[in-house]
Amino acid sequence: MSTREMNILDKHTAIYTDYYQLTMAQGYYLSGRAETASCFDYFFRENPFNGGYTLFAGLSDVLELIKGYRFDEEEIEFLREQGFREEFLDFLRDFRFRGTIYSVLEGEVVFPLEPLIRVEGTIIEAQVIETLLLNLINFESLIATKASRIRMAAGARRVVDFGLRRAQGLGGIHASKAAIIGGVDATSNVYTAFRNALDVSGTQAHSWIQSFGDELTAFRKFAEIYPDRCILLVDTYNTLKSGVPNAITVAKELERAGHRLIAIRLDSGDLAYLSKHARAMLDAAGLSYVKIVVSNQLDEYVIRSLLVEQEAPIDVFGVGTRLITGQATAALDGVYKLSMCDGTPRLKFSENYTKLTLPGVKNMFRYTNGEGVFYADAVALVDEPTPDFIIHPFFPEQKSSLKHCTPEPLFHKVMENGEIMVSQTTREAAAYARERLSTLAPEHKRFEYPHIYKVGITQALMNLRTSLVEEFQRKLFL
């Protein structure tokens, strides 16, 4: 079963953008700069969730949308109504993205300040894709990262995404996919499972139980129809007095018919208390194979508390709102900044030194130490040899030698002349994320005050930035 191509924007990809992208594009066009060469970088400045790393995701969706980027007549008419000029509208009619994109792979472990995507093309084509690129990379990376934290807390136990009903509208489509990249096992979201060839999962709602009036009949009917994949929701009336005893009755009936109840599900109340008592009741009935699924406002902290502090006998976690929205962090604040224009490196100046951008066309390398653990990342200018030391991007006195480490280039050419060169399925990205996370030291993965991973720049890049900063300062103080 392969991934299905679905045009998720009803073909209106080109207008999934901020208005100013189009006014600027017209500005470039009318000022005769339509063909000016440019380079933009995507990067973010802070890991979400006060964490020590971010999982990069969203690339395959972005590439698919960029590949299909075009304006149809209805959209051009809409832009005409907004006052765009005819000569520019003619230009848009044939417009395609024909640039080249380098990127880290989907599922890569990444860190603040690193240029993760490098877009090379005319200034118009590189500019107009900004909004859709930021929208999807920011969001999918946020959710993949959240999912990886939930996965860590749950250990080897099964985790299922139940979030669609509380997702931020259609954001659920990409969130369910990003959750799988981050390590969640399956999703209740049928649309995303269909689109991305993922495993679906689900149990039953309280309404099923209520509709039968009595719980035992409701359980029996469900077991009759799904004898080999029956999970019973036991908290509609009273978990320990009614739900679990009725589930045990039905489990025994299933046994006599040669089947096995898969699990019971707890969706309210104190999950530690209820799971312990339910486990004891199931075990006493000889049903130690029946698993316990829990759901209700779970996240990595609640799961850790249930498993580590409470030693709750839980087998499966159904996670909803806080996974699918990334609560408590609503957004990854990634940005897209011009680094080269017309052959010249460009800098976004700032009086706040930590907000200076890294100028010029750049490459990214990762260094693994003798123990096979990620040690540091280096950002270099594109024509430099692989560096053997890096400099802290804001404290130039702080240098790190990379001599004992093995470098690996992080950028792949994922699009050339508008054609997709590298594509990963969701499962491939998930496998890559698992592998890369396993090579990241635990101190970068802990939830509280994680150790900061080393990201440095080369001497040549530092020199370039310093010379551009000095140039601006001279101008400002003249």
Q: Does 273 sit near a copy of itself (CB under 8 A)?
A: no
Cis? peptide before 328, omega within 30° of 0: yes
Shortest distance, position 389 Cβ to a copy of itself, whole Å = 30
Instruction: Round to whole Å and give the CA distance between 303 and 153.
Output: 6
Shortest distance, position 75 Cβ to a copy of itself, whole Å = 7
Q: Does 472 sit near a copy of itself (CB under 8 A)?
A: yes
Binding residue for a copy of itself, selected from 129, 153, 167, 293, defined by CB under 8 A: 167
Binding residue for a copy of itself, selected from 301, 349, 389, 447, defined by CB under 8 A: 349
Q: Does 354 sit near a copy of itself (CB under 8 A)?
A: no
Angle between helices 59-67 and 130-154 (to 10 degrees): 160
Provide the mask over 234-263, with x wherever binding to a copy of itself is found by CB under 8 A and - wherever it is not: --xxx--xx---------------------
* 283 Cβ neighbours under 8 A, 6+ residues apart: none
Instruction: Round to whole Å and give the CA distance between 168 and 374.
Output: 35
The nearer residue to a copy of itself, 215 or 377, going by C-beta atoms, is 215
Question: If residue 158 lies in a helix (H) or strand (E), which one and from where to where?
Answer: strand 158-161
Q: Does 289 sit near a copy of itself (CB under 8 A)?
A: no
Q: Does 384 sit near a copy of itself (CB under 8 A)?
A: no
Q: Does 9 sit near a copy of itself (CB under 8 A)?
A: yes
Interface residues for a copy of itself in 92-131 (CB under 8 A)?
123, 127, 130-131
Instruction: Round to whole Å and give the CA distance between 155 and 315.
Output: 10
Q: H/E/C letters for each residue in 363-413? A: EEEEEECCCCCEEEEEEEECCCCCCCEEECCCCCCCEEECCCCEEEECCEE
Q: Does 70 sit near a copy of itself (CB under 8 A)?
A: no
Binding residue for a copy of itself, selected from 80, 165, 399, 413, defined by CB under 8 A: 165
Q: Does 296 sit near a copy of itself (CB under 8 A)?
A: no
Binding window for a copy of itself (CB under 8 A); candidates: 362-370, 402-410, 434-442, 469-477:
469-477
Binding residue for a copy of itself, selected from 56, 97, 111, 139, defined by CB under 8 A: 139
DSSP 3-state of 259? coil
- How far is CA 380 from its chain centroid? 26
Contact 318, 160 (CB under 8 A): yes
Shortest distance, position 47 Cβ to a copy of itself, whole Å = 16
Interface residues for a copy of itself in 217-236 (CB under 8 A)?
221-222, 224-226, 236
Structure tokens at 191: 């649309």
Q: Does 267 sit near a copy of itself (CB under 8 A)?
A: no
Question: If residue 38 lies in a helix (H) or strand (E), which one and from where to where?
Answer: strand 37-43
Interface residues for a copy of itself in 303-332 (CB under 8 A)?
321-322, 325-328, 330-331
Contact 173, 192 (CB under 8 A): yes
The nearer residue to a copy of itself, 355 or 404, going by C-beta atoms, is 355
Q: Does 460 sit near a copy of itself (CB under 8 A)?
A: no
Instruction: Round to whole Å and give the CA distance between 234 and 292.
Output: 10
The nearer residue to a copy of itself, 100 or 357, going by C-beta atoms, is 357
Shortest distance, position 271 Cβ to a copy of itself, whole Å = 14
Q: How many residues bind a copy of itself (CB under 8 A)?
A: 111
The nearer residue to a copy of itself, 297 or 401, going by C-beta atoms, is 297
CB atoms near residue 9 (< 10 Å): 14
Residue type, 241: K
Q: Does 346 sit near a copy of itself (CB under 8 A)?
A: yes
Binding window for a copy of itself (CB under 8 A); candidates: 111-119, 200-208, 283-291, 406-414:
200-208
Residue 354 — φ and ψ, nearest 5°?
-75, -5
* 155 Cβ neighbours under 8 A, 6+ residues apart: 307
Binding residue for a copy of itself, selected from 2, 73, 81, 343, defined by CB under 8 A: 81
Shortest distance, position 99 Cβ to a copy of itself, whole Å = 15
**Residues 378, 415, 186, 164, CA torsion sign:** positive
